[in-house]
Structure 1
Amino acid sequence: MFEFARYDAAKRLKGSVYLAVGMSLLAAFAVWAYPSYSRAMDMAQLREAFPEPMIQAFNIQTMASLEGFLAVELYMFGWVILLGLYFAYSAASIIADDIDRGRMDTLLSMPVSRPRIALERFAALGVPILTVNIVTAVVVLVSADLIGEPLSVVDVVALHLLSIPYLFACAGVGLLASVFFDRASIAQRVALGVTFGLYLVESLLTGTDYVRLGAIAPMRYFEPNEVLLDGTYDLVGAAILLGMIATLIAVSQLWFIRRDI
């Protein structure tokens, strides 16, 4: 059991380390840069220097504290956008790449079901998702202590835990694209476009008459500002993301069963 998950997880180990190192460097730089910014300018007024569309797109609430600064510079940009797009792109090759390279026929000749292949390979994404969250959380907490601006351990840990279903939901978009398209390159581009489009729908329609359209976007249910600034955890949003993941997996499995290879 779980042979596909173990095999894919092992293949993703090296990439997971690189990803964790990259995001940790981004986190350390953001923490290190904050004292320089706070000494050089009035951080309470820095928010007003941004154009209104950017304030709305990145949901900039305040940059007058390390928590607010990280919410924008690290989590809204690094987690919500960069990692969301990365995992959508990565998941888009789960099925499509083997079809594209002609390996899927050989794989399906074994006594294994299509839903199992899709599910186990999707589950293997837990390796990079968990690795990047664990390593970066430690780096953020240690770096904040080193500059004399300690953060709430509970809030930082909660934020990274809540990001896990968000990143899996973005990956679910990629999985769906992966079973719809035969070519991995097309599936990856579609996954990137749809994920970024959902981000724009959620961020730019907030406060308009069309705000309800954002309910389909995973970004609505993961809000770094609420965790770091207010210490509130959206468990309902996390439950919705879990439901979204289950739905995306189920639809992907059903389509994979019905389609010709």
Structure 2
Amino acid sequence: MFEITRYEGRNRLKGSVYLSIGMALLAALVIWVYPSFSDALGGDELLEAYPQEMLQLFRIETMASLEGFLAFELYTFGWIILLGLYVAYSAAGVIADDVDRGRMDTLLAMPISRARLVAEKFAALSVPILVVNLLTPPAILLGAWLIDEPLSIADVLAAHLLSVPYLFACAGIGLLCSVVFDRVGIAQRVALGVTFALFLVESLLVGTDYEELGAIAPMRYYDPNEILLEGSYDLVGVAVLVAMTVVLLGVSQLVFRRSDL
């Protein structure tokens, strides 16, 4: 039971650790830069020179506090954009790569249904998603303590915990691309394009007559600013992201069951 998940998960473990180290180093860099930035530019004084569209695109609310600085420099850029694109790209290869390389016939010769195969390969993506969110928070909290800008432990942990359903939703986008396209390169490029396009749609349409279109974007339901600056946790958004992931997984299973390989 779950043999494919265990196998795929083990193969992803080393890369997940490297990913976590990279994100921890990014967090350390952001925290190290913050005191100089705050002293030299006075935090929010710099924001006055930014176009409103840029502030809206990157969800910049304040840079006068470490929480606001992290919300933009680390969580919006690192988690919402970089990690969102990373998991979508990774998920886009879980089925398409085996089809593209001619390995899928061997896998389907095993006593396993197509739906279960898709589910188990998708479940293996929990390794990078969970590992990066387990290993990075201690680096953030330690860095903040070292520069004498302590952060709320509960809010930092919540920012990472609530990012898990967001990242799974992005992975669901990649998974759907993986079963729709049988060329792994195409599946991955489409997954990157769709995920980034959804980020743009959600960010740029806020406050316009077309704001409702952003409801299809996972990014609408994960807001680091609310968590770090206000201590507010959007549990309804979590439920929406979970439902979005389940729907994407179910549709992917249905498409793959009907695919002619």
The alignment's TM-score, normalised by the length of structure 1, stands at 0.99
Within the alignment, does 1:131 sit opposite 2:131 as a pair?
yes
Within the alignment, does 1:258 sit opposite 2:258 as a pair?
yes
In the alignment of these two chains, the number of paired residues is 261
Which residue pairs with 1:191 in the alignment? Answer: 191
Q: Which amino acid aligns with 1:242?
A: V
In structure 1, how many angstroms separate the alpha carbons of the residues matched to 2:3 and 2:143? 38
SS for the counterpart of 1:23 is helix
Within the alignment, does 1:54 sit opposite 2:50 as a pair?
no
Which residue pairs with 1:228 in the alignment? Answer: 228
In structure 2, how many angstroms separate the alpha carbons of the residues matched to 1:49 and 1:161? 34
Deviation at residue 41 of structure 1 after TM alignment: 1.3
Q: Deviations over 1:29-74 (max 9, x none)?
A: 0011100111111112122122222101001100000000000000
Deviation at residue 104 of structure 1 after TM alignment: 0.2
In structure 2, how many angstroms separate the alpha carbons of the residues matched to 1:30 and 1:36? 11
Structure 1 portions without partners, runs of 5+ = none
Which residue pairs with 1:5 in the alignment? Answer: 5
Q: Which amino acid aligns with 2:26?
A: L
In structure 1, how many angstroms separate the alpha carbons of the residues matched to 2:49 and 2:8? 46
Which residue pairs with 1:110 in the alignment? Answer: 110
- Superposition map of 1:24-35 within 5 A: 24-35=24-35
In structure 2, how many angstroms separate the alpha carbons of the residues matched to 1:150 and 1:10? 35
SS for the counterpart of 1:32 is helix
In structure 2, how many angstroms separate the alpha carbons of the residues matched to 1:124 and 1:83? 16
In structure 2, how many angstroms separate the alpha carbons of the residues matched to 1:79 and 1:44? 22
SS for the counterpart of 2:162 is helix
Q: Could you say what the CA RMSD is over the residues aligned between the two structures, in angstroms?
A: 0.6
Structure 2 portions without partners, runs of 5+ = none
SS for the counterpart of 1:94 is coil
SS for the counterpart of 2:149 is coil
Within the alignment, does 1:160 sit opposite 2:149 as a pair?
no
Q: Which amino acid aligns with 2:115?
A: P
Q: Which amino acid aligns with 2:3?
A: E
SS for the counterpart of 1:98 is helix
Which residue pairs with 1:65 in the alignment? Answer: 65
Q: Deviations over 1:199-225 (max 9, x none)?
A: 000000000000000000000000000
In structure 2, how many angstroms separate the alpha carbons of the residues matched to 1:234 and 1:47? 26
Deviates more, 1:176-185 or 1:46-55: 46-55
Q: Deviations over 1:110-148 (max 9, x none)?
A: 111011111111111111111111111111011000100
Which residue pairs with 1:36 in the alignment? Answer: 36
Deviates more, 1:42-51 or 1:197-206: 42-51
In structure 2, how many angstroms separate the alpha carbons of the residues matched to 1:132 and 1:50? 31
Structure 1 stretches (4+) deviating beyond 3 angstroms? Answer: none
In structure 1, how many angstroms separate the alpha carbons of the residues matched to 2:259 and 2:77? 37
Q: Deviations over 1:148-170 (max 9, x none)?
A: 00000000001100000000000
How many percent of aligned residue pairs carry the same amino acid?
67
Deviates more, 1:142-151 or 1:37-46: 37-46
Which residue pairs with 1:99 in the alignment? Answer: 99
In structure 2, how many angstroms separate the alpha carbons of the residues matched to 1:49 and 1:63? 13
Deviation at residue 12 of structure 1 after TM alignment: 0.1
Within the alignment, does 1:202 sit opposite 2:228 as a pair?
no
